[in-house]
Amino acid sequence: MTTFATPDTARLLAELDARTRVAWTAYRDALSTLEGSEYDAAEAAEWDQLQATLREVESARTDLQARSGD
């Protein structure tokens, strides 16, 4: 069965996709210039931040889809 999102739902889903891209870009950028022990020291915290953001986005996506009936 094909489902169609309302314009508002589609816009909000696009915003969530953008938040996902921004989170991954921030993770990459935060680590891109680091090497060795500096990278090791920063990576775990950056990963935790990325995962927290991705959980927030997924929760918002699930809530939106439940409200829209998708």
Return the structure tokens found at 33: 């210039």
Position 3 scores a pLDDT of 55
Position 68 scores a pLDDT of 81
- Name the residue among 12, 18, 14, 24 with its Cα closest to residue 51: 24
pLDDT higher than threshold 60 for residue 70 = no
Position 6 scores a pLDDT of 80
Position 1 scores a pLDDT of 37
- Could you report the per-residue pLDDT of 14-67, keeping only the tens digit for each? 999 999 999 999 999 999 999 999 999 999 999 999 999 999 999 999 999 888
pTM of the entire predicted model: 0.82
29 Cα distance to chain centroid: 15
- 69 DSSP assignment: T
- Name the residue among 9, 12, 16, 20 with its Cα closest to residue 70: 9
